Amino acid sequence: MIYADYNATAPLRPEARDAMLAAFELGANPSSVHGAGRAARKTVERAREQIGGAIGSRAQDIIFTSGGTEAAALAVLGSVSALGGKATLLVSAIEHEAVIKNVGISGAPVETVYVTPAGAIDLEALKARMAGWDSEASGKPILVLMLANNETGVIQPVAEAAAIVREAGGLTICDAVQGLGKIAVNVALLGVDYLTLSAHKAGGPQGVGALWLRAGAPLKPVLLGGGQEKSLRSGTENVAGIAGFGAAAEMAVRELDAYAGLSAHRDAMESRLKTEAGVTVVGDGTPRLAGVSNFALPGFKAETQVMAMDLAGVAVSSGSACSSGKVKRSVVLGAMGYDDALAESAIRTSFGWKSDEADFERVADAWLEAARRTVLKETA
Ligand code: PLP
């Protein structure tokens, strides 16, 4: 099988599996004071150091969660709640549902920040909005902007956007779930206040993630209970998951150059698909994650493509597939100004730490074969 769905979940890295197997043997609660408990605590704290190292932060500013979705919920709901609701959320038009759905229930007013046709946030529009900000009427502005888009791979100008918002006295929440292990992530350089991560996008296990919190950034917990994670996220830590997350993050960052090198194979695949079938590459020419290619051929339905490729032993996604198995029209492509015909025919291929040149070639072979059997035959 050729796996080209890393943005949904990356295969588990061997270092993560080893760390998890070792942690499973501990069998104790990291809050227990006895020796076995202290060993579990040590495993959690080692992983916290590894995650901190991966994003240029202090270990103590990392809060472990059950994944990227929970980290987003904590950042959005916890910041609005800590500000007593005196905030307005400025949300990019291309955020993941994990962010959007929590924004929707925060109770704070919401404004959309649009993206350019290239798929990156419109900094001029943001600047203009911030220039006239009335904090008496609107409270603190909180920008919600992802680091890299899960569907298109387009990298967002987070540092520039966060600086604009900071100047107006605001805060920035950055969903860096698709950035970790694909591009360098440094919280100080980004200048954000909250940053969310998920282990399974970087070769760690599913069901574990983290929120990085700038020291002093306002946050109230969403889950109350035993007071773990400095009372910001109660619940016994997922020790094995956290150990796997730490090991995966460390390896992913060590292999950033190898990930960046995938762009040569991706570009070769895209130029073949353009020449032989006339596909449109979404986000073409804009800084994108090296291992992501989202392309479309109007008239060739995304579901048909995904099924044909699956039959040929190639795993890819249509639209944003990590939220569920349902096929929905992409909000992201709509926000970039693409029409329905193009959006309905867009598929996302995403590669990563195990991928090589042959994988890209076989994805192109399988796709072209399916296209020739269906749409290209009709137009030939
Ligand atoms: N944010 C982005 C950009 C994602 O791609 C995903 C993927 O599912 C999430 C958040 C949610 O992360 P998790 O699956 O760990 O809840």
CATH at 352: 3.90.1150.10
Query: What 8-state DSSP symbol labels residue 214?
Result: -
Q: Which two tokens stand for residue 14?
A: 């061997």
Co-location of 207 and 263 in the same domain: no
Residues with CB under 6 A from ligand 1: 67-69, 96, 98, 146, 150, 175, 177-178, 198, 209, 322
Last residue of a domain, one of 254, 284, 306: 254
Q: What is the pLDDT of residues 144-181, one digit of tens each?
A: 999 999 999 999 999 999 999 999 999 999 999 999 99
The residue ranges of DSSP E strands in 133-207, in sequence order, are 140-144, 171-175, 194-198
Co-location of 209 and 300 in the same domain: no
Res 325: pLDDT: 53
Residue 142: which CATH number? 3.40.640.10
Q: Average pLDDT of 20-39?
A: 97
174 is catalytic: no
Max CA pair span of the chain: 73
Co-location of 169 and 153 in the same domain: yes
Q: Is the pLDDT of residue 321 over 90?
A: no
Co-location of 109 and 216 in the same domain: yes
Res 105: pLDDT: 97
Q: Average pLDDT of 21-45?
A: 98
More confident site: 328 or 256: 256
Q: Is the pLDDT of residue 326 over 60?
A: no
Co-location of 54 and 95 in the same domain: yes
Q: Point out the ligand 1 atom lying closest to the alpha carbon of residue 149.
A: 3
Instruction: Quote the ligand 1 centre to 49 CA distance (angstroms).
Output: 22
Res 378: pLDDT: 59
In angstroms, rounded to a whole number, what is the distance separating the alpha carbons of residues 251 and 74? 27
In angstroms, rounded to a whole number, what is the distance separating the alpha carbons of residues 185 and 261? 17
Last residue of a domain, one of 233, 254, 275: 254
DSSP 285-313: TS-B-TTEEEEE-TTS-HHHHHHHHHHTT
Co-location of 75 and 162 in the same domain: yes
Q: Whose CA is nearest to atom 8 of ligand 1?
A: 322
Average per-residue pLDDT for the chain: 96
Cα dihedral sign, 72-79-252-269: positive
Res 119: pLDDT: 96
Instruction: Quote the ligand 1 centre to 56 CA distance (angstroms).
Output: 21
| Whether 172 contacts 165, CB under 8 Å | yes
Q: Is the pLDDT of residue 377 over 90?
A: no
Res 14: pLDDT: 98
Q: Which two tokens stand for residue 46?
A: 């080692």
Given the DSSP bridges, would you call strands 317-318 and 346-350 parallel, antiparallel or unpaired? antiparallel
Instruction: Quote the ligand 1 centre to 217 CA distance (angstroms).
Output: 23
Q: Average pLDDT of 28-37?
A: 98
Q: What is the pLDDT of residues 10-25, one digit of tens each?
A: 999 999 999 999 999 9
Could you tell which of 5, 64, 69 is best to mutate to test the pocket of ligand 1, judged by most ligand atoms within 8 Å of the CB? Answer: 69
Q: Average pLDDT of 212-230?
A: 97
Q: How many CB atoms lie within 10 A of CB 313?
A: 11
Cα dihedral sign, 318-324-328-331: negative
Co-location of 354 and 369 in the same domain: yes
Range name among 109-113, 247-251, 323-327, 360-364 with the lowest pLDDT average: 323-327
In angstroms, rounded to a whole number, what is the distance separating the alpha carbons of residues 184 and 181? 7
- Percent pLDDT > 70 in the chain is 97
Instruction: Quote the ligand 1 centre to 177 CA distance (angstroms).
Output: 6
Res 329: pLDDT: 76
| Whether 172 contacts 140, CB under 8 Å | no
Catalytic residue among 126, 190, 308, 322: 322
Co-location of 238 and 303 in the same domain: no
Q: Whose CA is nearest to atom 5 of ligand 1?
A: 150
Instruction: Quote the ligand 1 centre to 67 CA distance (angstroms).
Output: 8
Owning domain of residue 75: 14-254
Could you tell which of 201, 245, 331 is best to mutate to test the pocket of ligand 1, judged by most ligand atoms within 8 Å of the CB? Answer: 201
Q: Which of 178, 224, 175, 234 is nearest to 201 (CA)?
A: 178
| Entry pTM | 0.96
Q: Average pLDDT of 194-203?
A: 98
Q: Point out the ligand 1 atom lying closest to the alpha carbon of residue 72.
A: 10
